[in-house]
Structure 1
């Protein structure tokens, strides 16, 4: 997932960039609305985080312009303001969500995951770091190279991709993929994770399945 962060405070921009990279996002930074619009014309973004108090062009106006020119982007506004009319103004400008400073990064990450889950309803494709998962055709490609997976392997990678940035518990994965966690040997999950890891490596996919010991698995993207 590629995300555009528009923040004119260098320290805040750096903190956001570092945290979002750790969550598996590819991040571009702009410190004003004009540069943000220029970036969005050349790059397809899945998400945008906009500070409301920007020099020259406000985050409200930038939100409106991005909404007009960019199809399918999810927009979250960041601001020190907490007045109701500002929140309404942001939503009216086309924002999908609104977070008031100061905030915990964990809350921001959770808000972004919620936006992604919302967009995934009815979605037919997931794109992560050059890897495309086509749910309609049940095909996976990495930079144009086809990744041949069995149906269970496909469903495993799709499940992890849909929950990017979250550690999926083993029981949840077993129930989702095999319909039960009580009557299935848990080792089968490890076997399929191993299969998918090897196949991702064969096409040089910038994705890793990370084992959270004693809990489950998480999909992570290499920094881009």
Structure 2
């Protein structure tokens, strides 16, 4: 997972409330066995409407999405986070998120920023014409007009995002400790891992 410390650029001023995961990525896209290409199906029903913000060339490849309250509600499909990443989105700003979506977003390297509705409204206004910046280290969202909005984030999630560590990365970071434990267990309880014991003895 790529480290995330700052996200800056155009932000898609979506703003809709109660956007569920079926809107983010419709069910018929879930048959895929890969994460790649899901961005084409993201917000398909919204994109069917003329003049929608997702097909506006000004926001092509925008790394930030600004949404309304209760973003990501509905089913627990992780494909919603995959689709956003495939679109190039690295951060979503909203007044609130579904807990499951927020967890899936974190696991896929997407920062979920919670701000009060008034501050989200201000960002929606700015985003129509100007860029938005998110500084994860200092937990601040800013604009070219001196707006500075602080946000809270779980320290563990912040550290993982900044270091680019997903669940696999966290496990690999403990590789030496795991190997030491496996060797000790093989020595103390050889009946649980006879093949590992033989390998260790040959190496010695």
Q: Name the TM-score, length of structure 2 as normaliser.
A: 0.31
Structure-1-length-normalised TM-score: 0.28
Higher relative contact order (CA 8 A, sep 6+): 2
Return the structure number with greater strand share.
Answer: 1
